[in-house]
Amino acid sequence: MKWVSVLLICLGAGMAAAADFVTSTTFTQVPAAERVAAIAKKVRDPKQAPVSPDREAVRSPDPLTTASVAGYYADPGPTKKGALSGFDLYLFPDETFIYLEWADIMPRTIMSKGAWALENGYVALHDDGETSKPHERQPSPSVWLPLVVDLGTTQIPCLMDGQWWYGDFMENPRESGDPSSIIWSSLEKSSDLPISETTALKADLKRKHWRPHYLAGDGLEDEGTVW
């Protein structure tokens, strides 16, 4: 079985049920602040006092700027260890991005790249079209909701995928009453990305994880292919 078929089963199947819940277009029609408020309401524990009278345990980043949002996001991130698959999103401070997926049976692979921007409170990814994807594979997430999860002594910046994870999170009754549950449905910010390191980091990611033949599904081996 080609890697692309395995990827479809392992990464695509779990998302397929939620894919119809919301699309990137309809998701952004609702203001980001309303989405954040809905999440905050869901995870609010009526038995406990809020972190502070005027601050929810889940909120939008303040300030919400490209400088504050830029960084390396991952699932699993620093607070969630151990997984058989995962996702990496590099939001570079020059407003470009690289998105990768990996699994125990699939090497870390660049699935999407291009430019990113803050649009109406959301992080919008605009793919540059250079990754060739078979039509049957789920498209890479293109809209993310920036969040800060406040656990009292720790504030954790996260990005929740608006195309699949938000729908799953809001529909799942088990996610109520616990702000930390958001971390399990989001990419967690793992580190900042200094502008001085951007060029070198991009080159390293391209060298190690750019697999155009794999994405095209033609069964060819990649031998260090780069842009």
In this prediction, residue 208 has a pLDDT band, given cuts at 50, 70 and 90, of very high
Q: What pLDDT does 3 receive? A: 41
State pLDDT tens for residues 105-159.
Answer: 889 999 999 999 999 999 999 999 887 665 445 567 789 999 999 887 889 999 9
| Domain spans in the chain, listed from the N-terminal domain onward | 3-216
What distance in Å separates the CA atoms of residue 139 and residue 141, rounded to the nearest whole number? Answer: 6
What local confidence, expressed as pLDDT, does residue 223 receive? 42
8 A C-beta contact, residue 188 and residue 158: yes
Side-chain half-sphere CA neighbours of 198 within 13 A:
16
